[in-house]
Amino acid sequence: MTDLFEPLDTADRRIALSADGVLRAFNDAGVLEAADVHVAIQAGRLTGETDERALLAAALAVRAVRHGSVSLDLTALDDLVAAAPGLPWPDAGDWPTAVSDSRLVAEGVLRWEHDLVYLDRYWHQERQLVADLDARLTRPAPTVDPVTLDAGVQRVFPGETYGEQRTAARRAAAAWTTVLTGGPGTGKTTTVAGLLALLAEQAARVGHPRLRIALTAPTGKAAARLQESVARELRALPAEDQARVGTVQAVTMHRLLGTRRDNGTRFRHHRGNRLPHDVVVVDESSMVSLTMMTRLVEAVRPEARLVLVGDPDQLASVEAGAVLSDLVAGLADRDDSPVVRLATTHRFGAEIGALADALRAGDADLVMERLRAGGSGVEYVESDDPAAHVQARVVDAALAVRRHAEAGDATEAVRALDAHRLLCAHRDGPYGVAHWNRQVEHWLAEATGDPLHERMYVGRPLLVTANDYGLGVYNGDAGVVVRSAEGTRAVIDGAQGLADFAPSRMADVETMFATTIHKSQGSQAREVTVLLPPPESRLLTRELFYTAVTRAQDTVRVVGTEEAVRAAVGRRALRASGLRQRLGS
């Protein structure tokens, strides 16, 4: 949370021209942006608060939300103080009292609890989520026939290798709420598919109609992957189980809850209009913000099962909150804990799994050892000049996509997107996505002789960057521009399968030869190249590195210096929140 901005010029929109005093000093230093300052000034006017210490806390609380935290911890600002020396920081001993006794807190603009400063909205959401989860956890357990369950578990999870999945499914079948965690390839989707079969069998036994099942994920790409993987696992089950479960459809969380045009954070389904489903499964839960998780849990019927699936070691949501990791930490030691962890990796090779384990443990020496040991699944390029080391592979991948697109084979063109993925920590700068997308286009133009003057050139890989409910495409969906009998078409692979559109209708898209590690969550590629920025980059964290490595199915190539690797392992992406304290108490 130490990122400072440098004004581009005197008209930079981040400059608060009306600020004065302490807020002006922090804005001039690049600590606070205009939005932070204006919220604090307006809050002071509305409440009559004049203490600059309280107003500074309000501005920093707004800043904290922009950086992903739900609240502001006044005792954890050492890095920010060091990054902006010479500013009039309040005395650490007096500051908490000045805030807690302020009119901002008295009037409910700010909230002070667990020694944290909250904006009122996030304080209410955190409390509401805990209350709803506690209510679900303290409900009498659902009725399950043990004999049927025992037989079903052995049927859908046969063999010795499914021991963890059998244990997890048993616990989930006997609970209203389950938090199913584990790294990539540990069998989370296998467990979900088996659980659906077990629950459908229990429902059929007592004469209930077919279960109403909701599969959902934060992004369109993650929803498409969830549907594909669950359907694949269901096809491996006995025919009677497939028939009882029926066809399942995955959608984005926004679509499941029902978007409203008049309110971006409220939905058609809520506490007064619950979802009709009997089972709600949320994949990639680490990507879910506090606001979305609160809205989801309140919309699930108390007598419906809720299964939250994800990897708490991955990057958290791009919005405020680190809900999954807080749930795991806050609930793990409770007697009624719903947390079930799968530990054994089945998907990628031993080398990627060993590297992921070392990253999860935070052992920099072991990470370097496993990178340098290499193998068929891990390649380490120790360099601060990545271009020469990635050009051949990214051009080969781009040419493969282009060949299928030129031939009009949309299915193969989209499938080719998953052959290789170039992942960056930054959006801008020499290690950013924008630079590398331009660089790959330059290489592609050299290789094909096509100057790529057209914005929607054939073979351009697309990443949707905003939800478009009219078109039915969502943030995170991927696609490619293909040639067809009707001309060029933009083919998008969403939760409902392939859909094609006139390129002119695709306004909110960007090129996807390279993508940020944040945007890669919820997707996989057979081969992944990770470009590490310099060690001083504040985005370079253990969670970011782990997320990048675990996007690979077969091979991961890490390009960066040893200093960058060690900096990533040693730096945590910590977010201030009171959720785990509330759940633990």
Q: Could you give phi then psi for residue 305, rounded to 5 degrees?
A: -80, 140
Residue 509, amino acid: V
Residue 21, amino acid: G
Q: What is the pLDDT of residue 95?
A: 93
DSSP assigned state of 268: S
Nearest to 447 by CA among 483, 405, 400: 400
Structure tokens at 136: 């679900």
> What contacts 453, CB < 8 A, 6 or more positions away?
none
CA distance 416 to 366: 34
For 99, half-sphere exposure in the C-beta direction (CA atoms, 13 angstrom radius) is 30
- Angle between helix axes 542-549 and 350-361 (nearest 10 degrees) is 170
Q: What is the pLDDT of residue 276?
A: 94
Which residue blocks in 462-573 are alpha helix, DSSP H?
517-520, 542-549, 562-570
Q: How many residues does the chain have?
A: 585
Domain with CATH 1.10.10 in the chain: 21-118
Q: What is the pLDDT of residue 347?
A: 60
CA distance 514 to 522: 16
Angle (nearest 5°) at CA 213 between 212 and 219: 140
For 350-462+505-570, the fitting CATH number among 3.40.50.300, 2.40.10.10, 3.50.50.60, 3.30.10.20 is: 3.40.50.300
Structure tokens at 456: 């929607």
Q: What is the pLDDT of residue 241?
A: 86
* Level-2 CATH architecture, domain 21-118: Orthogonal Bundle (1.10)
- Annotated binding-site residues for ATP read 182-189
Answer yes or no: are the C-beta atoms of 126 and 290 closer than 8 Å: yes
Residue 92, amino acid: A
Answer yes or no: are the C-beta atoms of 73 and 574 closer than 8 Å: no
- Annotated binding-site residues read 182-189
Domain with CATH 3.40.50.300 in the chain: 144-344, 350-462+505-570
Q: What is the pLDDT of residue 263?
A: 67
Structure tokens at 579: 């959720």
Answer yes or no: are the C-beta atoms of 30 and 53 closer than 8 Å: no
Structure tokens at 204: 């059929």
Answer yes or no: are the C-beta atoms of 500 and 491 closer than 8 Å: yes
Q: What is the pLDDT of residue 302?
A: 94
DSSP assigned state of 285: G
What number does CATH give the domain 144-344?
Answer: 3.40.50.300
Cβ-count burial of 429 within 10 angstroms (0-12 exposed, 13-18 middle, 19+ buried)?
A: middle
Q: What is the pLDDT of residue 35?
A: 92
Residue 582: its H or E element: helix 579-584
Q: What is the pLDDT of residue 1?
A: 47
Q: What is the pLDDT of residue 105?
A: 95
Greatest CA separation for the chain: 73
SS3 label, residue 334: coil
Per-residue confidence of the chain (585 residues) as pLDDT tens digits?
457 777 777 777 888 888 889 999 999 888 999 999 999 999 999 999 999 999 999 999 999 999 889 999 998 888 788 878 889 999 888 999 999 999 999 999 999 998 899 999 999 999 999 999 999 999 999 988 899 999 988 998 888 888 889 999 999 999 999 999 988 778 888 899 999 999 999 988 887 878 999 999 988 778 888 888 898 899 988 988 888 888 888 888 888 998 777 766 688 889 999 999 999 999 989 889 999 999 999 999 999 999 999 988 887 777 787 899 999 988 888 888 899 998 777 665 578 888 988 998 889 999 999 998 877 889 998 887 788 888 889 999 999 999 999 999 989 999 999 899 999 988 888 888 999 999 999 999 988 888 888 888 988 999 888 877 778 787 788 899 999 888 889 988 876 778 888 888 888 899 999 999 988 887 788 999 999 999 888 888 899 999 999 888 889 999 999 999 999 999 887 788 888 888 877
